[in-house]
Homo-oligomer: A and B are copies of this chain.
Amino acid sequence: MYLKEIGAKAKLASRYMAKCSTELKNKALLKVADDLIKNQDEIIKANKIDIDNAVADGMSAALLDRLTLTPERFELMAEGIRQVVLLDDPIGEVTGMKKRPNGLVIGQQRVPMGVIGIIYESRPNVTVDAFALTFKTGNAVILRGGSDCIYSNIALVKSIRESLKSLSIDENAISLIENTDRKLAIEFMKMNEYLDLLIPRGGAGLIRNVVLNATVPVIETGTGNCHIYVDKDADLDKAIPIINNAKLQRLGVCNACESLVIHKDIAEKAIPLIAADLSKHECEIRGDEASKMYSNCINDCTEEDFGTEYLDKIISVKTVSSLDEAIEHINKYSTGHSEAIITESYEASQRFLNEVDSACVYVNASTRFTDGFMFGFGAEIGISTQKLHARGPMGLLALTSTKYIIYGNGQIRE
């Protein structure tokens, strides 16, 4: 009953939102940003409760850091919302309008998705981010954050709903499932009557749970077992810094490189240099037998390593005897997120781009660029690793649908 009520209210709000002008949506977003700054003391108080509980539960320092709200982070959240205001509103655009032989004029109009559910873990900034993006695209959003973050989320959503109310906007454009019971989360994933789309944001376990349980349409995001292939024609002056960057610039992210594939003809030259550079930065290397011949810094690896997203200072190495073998290995173990080839060969670059089956395929660049901001979308709701609807970094467009509008003058079908 509790969820159905939230769902029904969100559905109604989505009808309201679909009619909202860009002007009003932008005005509301700016008000939400200003009010979050104004209400930050109160929200930080609520955040403290979450932090105290997390400390008592022994949460790791890294996760505690993600959970913590500070005045600087309020500035960042508000700035994030203001950036979304500056983006073009995709809603209403009509594309491909054509006249059919019978005189019907058929066009495709961009419309909001409707009601979007988002299930995520303990990062309160996702609450604000997800609201800004779904609101700008004329959707209603239902948030289900982690229990670790519940007091922060309640306070954030309260502030946002009050801002909307003050402008006479239906505050059910954002709702939070305050009861973090897991059974309710599963029920939420099956609300086909109310949810048009569900996006999980978080670790592999959360995403798997949503994919296996949801009956509503889902966009699978996130997990990235990303590869860099060092081709026999690689320029090592590019390869070494790119590998270093892709593995070490930030460890816990889905676009970090987790596995190297190295052509045997360049292994003797490349592996000692790569191993020395990574080892210097305390990165553990786990390689196959052939790779271990070229460096003492390489530990044993198992088949399991090739399928592991470490999110840590560890990387696996596989040597191959051809481009074909490299592509086959990558297509077998990759999660379809981001892969790069380092090569000066035209043919190898083209074959890699065409044959590697991932959302983002790079030539001579770090996989760390897979990101809505880096791609120039101005914002990001996540990175899709499925092929339906959206693939790769998702900006505002991924939160929209289309409908056909047809102008007739009495046509009937023969």
Contacts and interface: CB of A to CB of B under 8 A. Distances in A.
Interface in A237-260: 237-238, 241-242, 244-246, 249
Interface of A: 15, 18-19, 98, 100, 104, 106, 109, 111, 113-114, 192, 196-197, 211-212, 215, 217-220, 235, 237-238, 241-242, 244-246, 249, 331, 353-355, 357-366, 368-370, 374-376, 386-389, 391-393, 401-413
B104 A365 contact: yes
Contact of A403 (B192, B358, B389): B358
B404 A360 contact: yes
Contact of A411 (B219, B220, B359, B369): B369
Given A368-B413, A403-B360, A114 B387 contact: yes
Tell me how many chains of this kind the complex includes.
2
A362 B362 CA distance: 44
A211 B192 contact: yes
Nearest to A249: B413
A12 to B, nearest CB: 10
A234 to B, nearest CB: 11
Contact of A242 (B196, B387, B389, B410): B410
21 contacts: A15-B357, A18-B357, A19-B355, A98-B376, A113-B387, A196-B386, A196-B388, A197-B387, A212-B215, A217-B218, A217-B386, A241-B412, A244-B412, A245-B412, A360-B406, A361-B405, A363-B406, A368-B412, A369-B411, A388-B388, A392-B403
A334 B408 CA distance: 21
Chain A interface mostly:
mixed
B413 A245 contact: yes
Contacts of A106: 375-376
Q: Which 10 A-B pairs have the closest CB atoms?
A: A365-B408, A245-B412, A387-B401, A389-B389, A368-B413, A217-B388, A238-B410, A365-B411, A360-B404, A364-B408
B354 A19 contact: yes
Nearest to A352: B405
A259 B160 CA distance: 40
Nearest to A99: B376
Contacts of A197: 387-388
A6 to B, nearest CB: 18
